[in-house]
């Protein structure tokens, strides 16, 4: 009962956070107002099985989305939006690295992530790691997530509740913008063009 109450509380927090972002600047929020400090150092594993850290991405803009490969709708929609926005950036797209950080390491192995990210932008990088490693980077972005109750008949079948926003950070690891899930690819691309030169 206590676990269920905690789940409901976190889902409400995620929903309220998403609504708050939606109410601000019609889908765009200056991340510096929400994320008060640079993104903390992190260490994860990419979809090719290579160990990577935040230092691998210094000098690049990052578009970051937290989710999981078994996500039925929010994640595919968010990643498609990100991919289409990048396609509209022209040559400046090369300055942006899109990251999909899994919140479900139990199922999202590097091999599974590799198959998944190939469905989206060719430069999309899937990242996973231990629960502890993922918690570090998620906390840095203030991204919330929780594992929902398992299916009693199949423990491997479950959903994850999670933040459904896309984060933009700059070449020095400083947060710039947060896009909520209502933002379409044209809007995202237009906003990115103002920051990525």
Q: Which is nearest to 163 in space by CA: 124, 192, 134, 125?
A: 134
Q: Tell me how far apart the alpha carbons of residues 147 and 122 are, in angstroms, rounded to a whole number.
A: 29
Could you list the mean pLDDT of each consecutive 10-residue stretch along the chain, which spans 197 residues?
48 44 47 63 97 96 97 96 97 96 96 98 98 95 85 73 93 90 94 90
For position 24, what pLDDT does the model report?
Answer: 42
For position 186, what pLDDT does the model report?
Answer: 96
CATH number at residue 150: 3.40.30.10
For position 156, what pLDDT does the model report?
Answer: 73
For position 5, what pLDDT does the model report?
Answer: 46
For position 36, what pLDDT does the model report?
Answer: 57
For position 168, what pLDDT does the model report?
Answer: 94
Count of residues for the chain?
Answer: 197
Structurally, the chain folds into a number of domains equal to 1
Domain of residue 32: give its range. Answer: 2-195
What one-character DSSP code corresponds to residue 120? Answer: S
For position 22, what pLDDT does the model report?
Answer: 39
Burial of 157 (0-12, 13-18, 19+ CB in 10 A): exposed
**Please, what is the Cα angle at 19 between 23 and 146, to 5 degrees?**
155
């Amino acid at each position: 009962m206590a676990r269920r109450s905690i789940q409901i509380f976190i889902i409400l927090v995620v929903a309220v956070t998403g609504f708050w972002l939606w109410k601000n600047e019609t889908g765009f929020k200056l991340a510096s107002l929400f994320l008060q400090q640079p993104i903390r150092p992190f260490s994860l594993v990419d979809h090719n099985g290579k160990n990577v850290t935040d230092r691998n991405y210094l000098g690049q803009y990052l578009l970051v989305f937290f989710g999981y490969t078994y996500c039925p709708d929010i994640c595919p929609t968010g990643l498609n939006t990100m991919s289409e926005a990048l396609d509209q950036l022209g040559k400046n797209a090369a300055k942006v690295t899109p990251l999909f950080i899994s919140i479900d390491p139990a199922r999202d192995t590097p091999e599974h992530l590799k198959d998944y990210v190939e469905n989206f932008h060719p430069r999309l990088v899937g990242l996973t790691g231990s629960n502890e490693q993922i918690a570090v980077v998620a906390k840095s972005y203030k991204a919330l997530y929780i594992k929902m109750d398992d299916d009693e008949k199949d423990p491997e079948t479950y959903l994850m509740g999670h933040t459904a926003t896309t984060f933009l950070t700059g070449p020095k690891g400083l947060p710039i913008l947060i896009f909520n899930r209502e933002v379409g690819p044209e809007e995202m691309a237009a906003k990115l063009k103002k920051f990525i030169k």
